[in-house]
Amino acid sequence: MNAAIELQGLSKRFKEKVAVSPMTLTINQGELFGLLGVNGAGKTTLLNMLSGLAKPSTGDALVLGHSLSKELPSIRKLLAVSPQETSIAPNLSVRENLLLMARIHGFSKEKSIEKTEALISQFSLQPYEHQRGKNLSGGWQRKLSIAMALIADPRILFLDEPTLGLDIISRRELWAMINKLRETTTIVLTTHYLEEAESLCDRICIMKDGEIKALGTVDELIITASKENFEDAFVHFVTGGEL
Ligand SMILES: Nc1ncnc2c1ncn2[C@@H]1O[C@H](COP(=O)(O)OP(=O)(O)OP(=O)(O)O)[C@@H](O)[C@H]1O
Protein backbone atom coordinates (compact mmCIF):
# COMPACT_ATOMS: atom_id res chain seq x y z
CA MET A 1 0.00 0.00 0.00
CA ASN A 2 1.37 3.44 -0.89
CA ALA A 3 1.96 6.01 1.80
CA ALA A 4 -0.10 9.19 1.85
CA ILE A 5 1.87 10.73 4.72
CA GLU A 6 5.16 9.61 6.22
CA LEU A 7 6.22 11.42 9.38
CA GLN A 8 9.98 11.30 9.80
CA GLY A 9 10.80 12.50 13.28
CA LEU A 10 8.58 15.54 12.87
CA SER A 11 8.41 17.67 16.02
CA LYS A 12 7.31 21.07 17.27
CA ARG A 13 8.46 23.05 20.24
CA PHE A 14 7.05 26.40 21.36
CA LYS A 15 9.88 27.90 23.46
CA GLU A 16 10.08 25.51 26.44
CA LYS A 17 6.88 23.67 25.54
CA VAL A 18 7.21 20.49 23.46
CA ALA A 19 3.88 20.35 21.63
CA VAL A 20 4.82 17.37 19.42
CA SER A 21 7.77 15.09 20.22
CA PRO A 22 9.61 13.62 17.21
CA MET A 23 6.97 11.47 15.51
CA THR A 24 7.53 8.67 13.01
CA LEU A 25 4.41 7.20 11.50
CA THR A 26 2.91 6.25 8.13
CA ILE A 27 -0.64 6.98 7.02
CA ASN A 28 -1.66 4.95 3.98
CA GLN A 29 -3.43 6.20 0.89
CA GLY A 30 -7.17 5.62 1.11
CA GLU A 31 -7.05 5.35 4.88
CA LEU A 32 -9.39 7.18 7.23
CA PHE A 33 -6.96 7.85 10.05
CA GLY A 34 -8.03 9.10 13.47
CA LEU A 35 -5.90 11.32 15.71
CA LEU A 36 -7.18 11.17 19.26
CA GLY A 37 -6.01 12.53 22.57
CA VAL A 38 -7.02 14.69 25.48
CA ASN A 39 -6.85 18.50 25.20
CA GLY A 40 -3.35 19.75 24.46
CA ALA A 41 -2.11 16.38 23.15
CA GLY A 42 -0.63 18.02 20.04
CA LYS A 43 -3.14 16.95 17.39
CA THR A 44 -3.83 20.40 15.95
CA THR A 45 -0.13 21.31 16.04
CA LEU A 46 0.67 18.17 14.05
CA LEU A 47 -1.97 18.98 11.43
CA ASN A 48 -0.78 22.60 11.33
CA MET A 49 2.76 21.47 10.58
CA LEU A 50 1.62 19.15 7.80
CA SER A 51 -0.48 21.86 6.18
CA GLY A 52 2.29 24.45 6.36
CA LEU A 53 0.68 26.62 9.06
CA ALA A 54 3.37 25.85 11.65
CA LYS A 55 7.07 25.36 10.97
CA PRO A 56 8.42 22.07 12.33
CA SER A 57 11.24 22.34 14.88
CA THR A 58 12.90 19.12 13.70
CA GLY A 59 12.32 16.29 11.25
CA ASP A 60 10.44 16.12 7.99
CA ALA A 61 7.39 14.49 6.46
CA LEU A 62 6.64 13.14 3.01
CA VAL A 63 3.18 13.95 1.69
CA LEU A 64 2.49 11.72 -1.33
CA GLY A 65 6.25 11.62 -1.77
CA HIS A 66 6.81 15.39 -1.45
CA SER A 67 9.07 16.68 1.30
CA LEU A 68 7.40 19.09 3.70
CA SER A 69 10.66 20.97 4.28
CA LYS A 70 11.50 21.32 0.58
CA GLU A 71 8.26 21.14 -1.42
CA LEU A 72 5.55 22.88 0.58
CA PRO A 73 3.93 24.52 -2.51
CA SER A 74 3.43 21.06 -4.10
CA ILE A 75 1.97 19.74 -0.84
CA ARG A 76 -0.47 22.67 -0.66
CA LYS A 77 -1.97 21.49 -3.96
CA LEU A 78 -2.51 17.96 -2.65
CA LEU A 79 -3.85 18.60 0.81
CA ALA A 80 -6.73 20.61 2.25
CA VAL A 81 -7.93 21.39 5.76
CA SER A 82 -11.37 21.83 7.20
CA PRO A 83 -10.37 23.59 10.43
CA GLN A 84 -11.89 23.51 13.90
CA GLU A 85 -13.07 27.07 13.65
CA THR A 86 -15.31 27.52 10.64
CA SER A 87 -13.55 28.99 7.64
CA ILE A 88 -16.65 30.45 6.01
CA ALA A 89 -17.23 34.18 5.39
CA PRO A 90 -20.29 35.01 7.53
CA ASN A 91 -21.78 37.67 5.27
CA LEU A 92 -21.40 35.77 2.00
CA SER A 93 -23.96 33.24 0.83
CA VAL A 94 -23.19 29.54 0.54
CA ARG A 95 -22.75 29.93 -3.23
CA GLU A 96 -20.57 33.04 -2.83
CA ASN A 97 -18.35 31.29 -0.28
CA LEU A 98 -17.73 28.42 -2.69
CA LEU A 99 -17.14 30.77 -5.64
CA LEU A 100 -14.71 32.84 -3.60
CA MET A 101 -12.76 29.75 -2.55
CA ALA A 102 -12.56 28.57 -6.17
CA ARG A 103 -11.27 31.98 -7.29
CA ILE A 104 -8.70 31.99 -4.45
CA HIS A 105 -7.45 28.67 -5.85
CA GLY A 106 -7.01 30.33 -9.23
CA PHE A 107 -9.85 28.73 -11.18
CA SER A 108 -11.38 30.70 -14.05
CA LYS A 109 -14.84 32.21 -13.61
CA GLU A 110 -16.46 29.43 -15.66
CA LYS A 111 -14.57 26.68 -13.87
CA SER A 112 -15.39 28.25 -10.48
CA ILE A 113 -19.11 28.19 -11.30
CA GLU A 114 -18.82 24.57 -12.46
CA LYS A 115 -17.01 23.55 -9.25
CA THR A 116 -19.51 25.43 -7.09
CA GLU A 117 -22.47 23.75 -8.79
CA ALA A 118 -20.90 20.33 -8.35
CA LEU A 119 -20.24 20.83 -4.63
CA ILE A 120 -23.69 22.32 -3.97
CA SER A 121 -25.14 19.19 -5.50
CA GLN A 122 -22.72 16.76 -3.80
CA PHE A 123 -23.44 18.24 -0.36
CA SER A 124 -27.20 18.78 -0.96
CA LEU A 125 -26.73 22.50 -0.28
CA GLN A 126 -29.40 23.61 -2.80
CA PRO A 127 -31.98 24.74 -0.21
CA TYR A 128 -29.39 27.00 1.44
CA GLU A 129 -27.32 28.21 -1.50
CA HIS A 130 -28.48 31.85 -1.19
CA GLN A 131 -28.42 31.92 2.62
CA ARG A 132 -25.61 33.81 4.36
CA GLY A 133 -22.98 31.71 6.10
CA LYS A 134 -23.76 33.19 9.50
CA ASN A 135 -27.42 32.17 9.24
CA LEU A 136 -26.71 28.48 8.66
CA SER A 137 -27.07 25.94 11.48
CA GLY A 138 -23.84 24.50 12.91
CA GLY A 139 -24.23 21.29 10.91
CA TRP A 140 -24.70 23.09 7.60
CA GLN A 141 -21.82 25.47 8.37
CA ARG A 142 -19.62 22.44 8.88
CA LYS A 143 -20.79 20.83 5.65
CA LEU A 144 -20.08 24.06 3.77
CA SER A 145 -16.64 24.27 5.40
CA ILE A 146 -15.83 20.73 4.20
CA ALA A 147 -17.21 21.48 0.72
CA MET A 148 -14.94 24.56 0.58
CA ALA A 149 -11.93 22.44 1.57
CA LEU A 150 -12.70 20.12 -1.35
CA ILE A 151 -12.85 22.83 -4.01
CA ALA A 152 -9.49 21.93 -5.57
CA ASP A 153 -10.00 18.13 -5.35
CA PRO A 154 -7.34 17.46 -2.69
CA ARG A 155 -5.94 13.94 -2.42
CA ILE A 156 -5.71 14.30 1.37
CA LEU A 157 -8.23 16.02 3.65
CA PHE A 158 -7.73 17.01 7.29
CA LEU A 159 -10.91 17.21 9.31
CA ASP A 160 -10.22 18.87 12.66
CA GLU A 161 -13.10 17.95 15.00
CA PRO A 162 -15.67 17.90 12.18
CA THR A 163 -18.71 17.32 14.40
CA LEU A 164 -17.77 19.44 17.42
CA GLY A 165 -20.91 20.75 19.10
CA LEU A 166 -23.33 19.19 16.61
CA ASP A 167 -26.47 17.32 17.61
CA ILE A 168 -26.57 13.59 17.03
CA ILE A 169 -28.63 13.83 13.82
CA SER A 170 -26.26 16.38 12.24
CA ARG A 171 -23.36 14.25 13.42
CA ARG A 172 -24.77 11.13 11.77
CA GLU A 173 -25.37 13.07 8.54
CA LEU A 174 -21.76 14.22 8.54
CA TRP A 175 -20.55 10.70 9.23
CA ALA A 176 -22.43 9.49 6.15
CA MET A 177 -20.85 12.27 4.13
CA ILE A 178 -17.35 11.51 5.43
CA ASN A 179 -17.88 7.84 4.62
CA LYS A 180 -18.65 8.79 1.02
CA LEU A 181 -15.57 11.02 0.82
CA ARG A 182 -13.28 8.21 1.89
CA GLU A 183 -13.91 6.51 -1.44
CA THR A 184 -11.80 9.15 -3.18
CA THR A 185 -9.76 10.90 -0.48
CA THR A 186 -7.33 9.99 2.29
CA ILE A 187 -8.76 11.53 5.45
CA VAL A 188 -7.06 12.42 8.73
CA LEU A 189 -9.63 13.22 11.37
CA THR A 190 -9.29 14.53 14.91
CA THR A 191 -12.12 14.09 17.34
CA HIS A 192 -12.94 13.93 21.04
CA TYR A 193 -15.96 11.73 20.32
CA LEU A 194 -14.79 8.16 20.77
CA GLU A 195 -17.88 6.69 19.09
CA GLU A 196 -17.06 8.84 16.06
CA ALA A 197 -13.55 7.42 15.85
CA GLU A 198 -14.88 3.90 16.37
CA SER A 199 -17.50 4.29 13.69
CA LEU A 200 -15.33 5.96 11.04
CA CYS A 201 -11.62 5.28 11.44
CA ASP A 202 -9.60 2.47 9.88
CA ARG A 203 -6.76 3.11 12.33
CA ILE A 204 -6.37 5.37 15.31
CA CYS A 205 -3.37 7.08 16.86
CA ILE A 206 -3.79 8.08 20.51
CA MET A 207 -1.58 11.00 21.53
CA LYS A 208 -0.76 12.51 24.89
CA ASP A 209 1.66 15.34 25.70
CA GLY A 210 2.90 15.31 22.11
CA GLU A 211 3.70 11.60 22.07
CA ILE A 212 2.10 8.55 20.45
CA LYS A 213 0.67 6.37 23.21
CA ALA A 214 -1.02 3.79 20.99
CA LEU A 215 -1.62 3.03 17.33
CA GLY A 216 -3.87 0.49 15.65
CA THR A 217 -7.41 -0.48 14.74
CA VAL A 218 -10.11 -0.15 17.38
CA ASP A 219 -10.03 -3.92 17.95
CA GLU A 220 -6.24 -3.97 18.24
CA LEU A 221 -6.28 -1.13 20.77
CA ILE A 222 -8.93 -2.86 22.90
CA ILE A 223 -6.91 -6.09 22.90
CA THR A 224 -3.60 -4.34 23.65
CA ALA A 225 -5.16 -2.52 26.59
CA SER A 226 -6.89 -5.74 27.78
CA LYS A 227 -10.19 -3.89 28.04
CA GLU A 228 -13.79 -4.64 27.11
CA ASN A 229 -14.48 -1.55 25.02
CA PHE A 230 -12.80 1.32 23.23
CA GLU A 231 -13.58 3.98 25.85
CA ASP A 232 -11.84 1.94 28.56
CA ALA A 233 -8.92 1.30 26.21
CA PHE A 234 -8.61 5.02 25.43
CA VAL A 235 -8.64 5.93 29.14
CA HIS A 236 -6.02 3.23 29.76
CA PHE A 237 -3.66 4.70 27.16
CA VAL A 238 -4.01 8.35 28.15
CA THR A 239 -3.66 7.68 31.88
CA GLY A 240 -0.78 5.25 31.48
CA GLY A 241 -2.95 2.43 32.82
CA GLU A 242 -3.83 4.24 36.04
CA LEU A 243 -7.58 4.32 35.30
N1 LIG B 1 1.17 28.94 19.39
C2 LIG B 1 1.44 28.27 20.52
N3 LIG B 1 2.28 28.77 21.43
C4 LIG B 1 2.57 28.10 22.56
N5 LIG B 1 2.06 26.89 22.89
C6 LIG B 1 1.21 26.36 22.00
C7 LIG B 1 0.85 27.01 20.78
N8 LIG B 1 -0.03 26.19 20.10
C9 LIG B 1 -0.20 25.10 20.88
N10 LIG B 1 0.55 25.21 22.01
C11 LIG B 1 0.63 24.19 23.07
O12 LIG B 1 1.00 22.97 22.48
C13 LIG B 1 0.29 21.88 23.08
C14 LIG B 1 -0.49 21.12 22.02
O15 LIG B 1 -1.59 21.92 21.58
P16 LIG B 1 -2.58 21.45 20.43
O17 LIG B 1 -3.52 22.58 20.19
O18 LIG B 1 -1.81 20.93 19.28
O19 LIG B 1 -3.34 20.25 21.14
P20 LIG B 1 -4.65 19.48 20.69
O21 LIG B 1 -4.35 18.03 20.87
O22 LIG B 1 -5.05 19.90 19.31
O23 LIG B 1 -5.69 19.97 21.75
P24 LIG B 1 -7.29 20.20 21.64
O25 LIG B 1 -7.88 18.83 21.66
O26 LIG B 1 -7.58 20.96 22.88
O27 LIG B 1 -7.57 20.95 20.38
C28 LIG B 1 -0.60 22.51 24.16
O29 LIG B 1 0.06 22.40 25.39
C30 LIG B 1 -0.72 23.95 23.73
O31 LIG B 1 -0.91 24.79 24.84
Answer whether residue 172 shows pLDDT above 80. yes
- Give yes or no for residue 12 CB within 6 A of ligand 1: no
Region 79-103 average pLDDT: 91
Region 63-85 average pLDDT: 92
CA distance 242 to 147: 42
Average pLDDT taken over every residue of the chain: 93
The per-residue pLDDT for 119 is 94
The ligand 1 atom at the shortest distance from the C-alpha of residue 54 is 1
Residue nearest to atom 3 of ligand 1 (CA): 14
Model pLDDT for residues 103-127, shown as the tens digit of each residue: 999 999 999 999 999 999 988 899 9
Q: Distance, CA 122 to ligand 1 centroid (Å)?
A: 34
**Which of 17-26, 161-170, 206-215 has the least mean pLDDT?**
161-170
Structure ipTM: 0.96
Which pLDDT band, with edges at 50, 70 and 90, does 1 fall under? low
CA distance 117 to 132: 17
Do 218 and 197 form a contact (C-beta atoms < 8 A)? yes
Answer whether residue 222 shows pLDDT above 90. yes
The per-residue pLDDT for 45 is 94
The per-residue pLDDT for 243 is 66
Kindly state the DSSP code that residue 16 receives in the 8-state scheme.
T
Which pLDDT band, with edges at 50, 70 and 90, does 87 fall under? confident
- Give yes or no for residue 53 CB within 6 A of ligand 1: no
The per-residue pLDDT for 94 is 96
- What are the phi and psi torsion angles at 103 (to 5°)? -65, -40
- Give yes or no for residue 42 CB within 6 A of ligand 1: yes
Determine if residue 15 is left, alpha or beta; phi over 0 gives left, psi from -120 to 50 gives alpha, anything else beta. Answer: left
Between helix 230-238 and helix 218-225 the angle, nearest 10°, is 60
- Give yes or no for residue 139 CB within 6 A of ligand 1: no
Top-confidence residue, 167 or 116: 116
